[in-house]
Structure 1
Amino acid sequence: MSFSDHAILWHVYPLGFVGAPIRPESPEDRGVGHRWGHLVAFLDYAQQLGTNVIQLGPIFQSASHGYDTLDFFAIDDRLGDEADFVEFIAECESRGLKVIVDGVFNHVAAGSQYDTAPLVSDTVFEGHGSLRELDHSRAEVVDLVVEVMSYWCERGVAGWRLDAAYAMPPEFWAQVVPRVRERFPQAWFVGEMIHGDYADYVQRSGLDSVTQYELWKAVWSSIKDRNFFELEWSLRRHNEFCAVFRPMTFVGNHDVNRIATTVGADGAALAHAVLLTVPGVPELYYGDEQGFTGTKFERVGGDDEVRPSFPQSPSQFSPLGEKMHRWVQLLISVRRRHPWLVDARVETLEVTNEQLGYAVIGAEDSQRVEVWLDVAAGSARVVESGQVVAEYPHC
């Protein structure tokens, strides 16, 4: 059985989740501590939501936001230490939850131990002088990444989300992934692809999946602009991708505006209906299931709103999020009853500017789910064998 056969991911940005200082100006400001318990307090919540994989943003020692790595072999001291992390893995495993982590292997912090001639190139990442790009043509970099991945897989990590894969040659991963799989054959690898030829990258790199940004954009844009023709076209494109690999689908993450901010609460409910019924490997961003809002700004600290801290326990959530929580939980229950959805295909039943109906069809005659969306009414229905099994806003 493959890792992604039944995977439903709950994506957490740990430094934000636990309220750690993101931009410490001195070692004294780092707020060093043992904060993994804050995450453990939400593992039952993640399990009861219906997710079965915890996807962690950056957890390794970094200068600020986690994407400026200082040491790939050390847990960020604002979160805790390696023993804390291994205990966290054990807590997850005891609940049947797997853990994948962020591998930031395109760039490292300027001035870090990796900022040396055998490892880095002469360029900085996307104009950020604090981020030096690794030289992916060098065997030393291949060896380093294999060693890092193997080290943490030995400690229970089940897979890797590969940051900024779109900026890296697929041939690099073609050298790394087989070596890691020799020791950890069940490890799962998903690359962050914002643009480019998704299927070609997967085939050339040997990765299992990439992030489906095309579908993300079509979901929110179609709802916001009341133009379901865009989504209908993208779902046909999605079928083409799914014939080659299992894309990782999402409607929110740590780099974009919250879906409820972009399209409102009812629009977010429709977006989640799409996410949790179409083929692929769905990823939920922490807080979206509670209807969290937040805007990403292009400035220092501009990510903070979309990477917030969570309360100390689920009992402290505002009751305002309960309606969305029930809806997402219900949609996940539908998906878990029909694991064949991961490899299904989508067929359009009806499309207008404001209404979309589609069927998700599996390999067997009995495998069929219909989804009906109405952006004007702010409603969504999931139908099986002529019976409505999930309905918003009546969830």
Structure 2
Amino acid sequence: MKHVILVGDGMADYPLDELDGKTPLQVADKPNMDQLAGMGACGLLRTVPEGMEAGSDVANLSIMGYDPRRYYTGRGPLEAASIGVELGDDDVAFRCNLINADERIVDFNAGHIETAEASSLIDALNHELETRGRFYAGVSYRNLFVIEGRGYTSVRVEPPHDIVGESVAAHLPSGSEEADHIRELMLESAGVLRSHEVNLKRESMGKRPATMIWLWGQGLRPSMEPFSERYGIRGATITAVDLIKGLGVYAGLENIHVPGATGYLDTDYRAKGRYAAGALEEYDFLYVHVEAPDEAGHAGDAEEKIRAIENIDRFVLGRLLDALSDHEHRIAVLPDHPTPIEIRTHVPDPVPCILAGDGVDADQVKSYDEFTVREGSLGTWEAHRLMEIMMDPAARLRQ
């Protein structure tokens, strides 16, 4: 039996005037998702427990079968695992964004800076900033800062993608010795970065420079039971996003590298579908994650979001369904959270889910979107139960 979860990050949305009161999911041409909805059971999943931030870290942890209220410690440790940084018991890992800002935050990604450029800037920060912590290069604007001291877990800093256009000063950490140090690093980074040759070259080419760092999403190393022990199956992840790779590391899943997978709108959808289909020959569980709809949501671009959904449907889901036809299987398709175009950030609303395959009875839903699934037989569930239901569809009938 093969088990596949396909996550279109941020794919769910709200009705838009520019789409005549419909959502991107409703407008998109997605024959595979619609056909799958007609063959399976549909409903809503609560991926973000009440009171928790609507982050991709919390939501994907839920979908993988780990209740965030028990297992979540922060986003930073997940990204540390993805790039091979081992954390000690008292090490606190922060996500370190390279951003563009003046008095206000212009963007949260420094114009989607190239990874090689970001690596040079991270190296400069390690040489020129006074701190007992250390910076680590990741992918593009998504980097890491690690420092020893559990007191750093209490520093409050907001995700930069939630405060684009707002004052830098209004959102800096304050109130404790640890917060003071993090604030100083963020402010002092501007002096290191602005004059760096990487940024001077970017400016000469009309690109946005990385003008400062933004530290956030910190936490201690989590302790998670391996997937093989929980469910008795061997699995893998396919994603370009470090935090999903990190979840895979802690869950004991293999991370499959896909050339051309960028975690952005230009990701190679065909390659993701091809590698996912091939991985089914070796693994019994696949967690396939595509970031592009979320990026379009943050950009407020409905056309790009529709295009991303259609590409996922055609090149990823379509290829997976062809490969799964040779196996007994169950497959789930869902977003991790909505990223509505009109507000450009994550919200904790329940997400539309399809579960189809062997042993799953079809309901009356014939197409897939945020509204049709409400009439489905799955009802509304906590997302951390999805794996339990995938392993035993009858479990949805038991509380």
Both proteins in one fold, TM over 0.5: no
Name the TM-score, length of structure 2 as normaliser.
Answer: 0.30
TM-score normalized with structure 1 length: 0.30
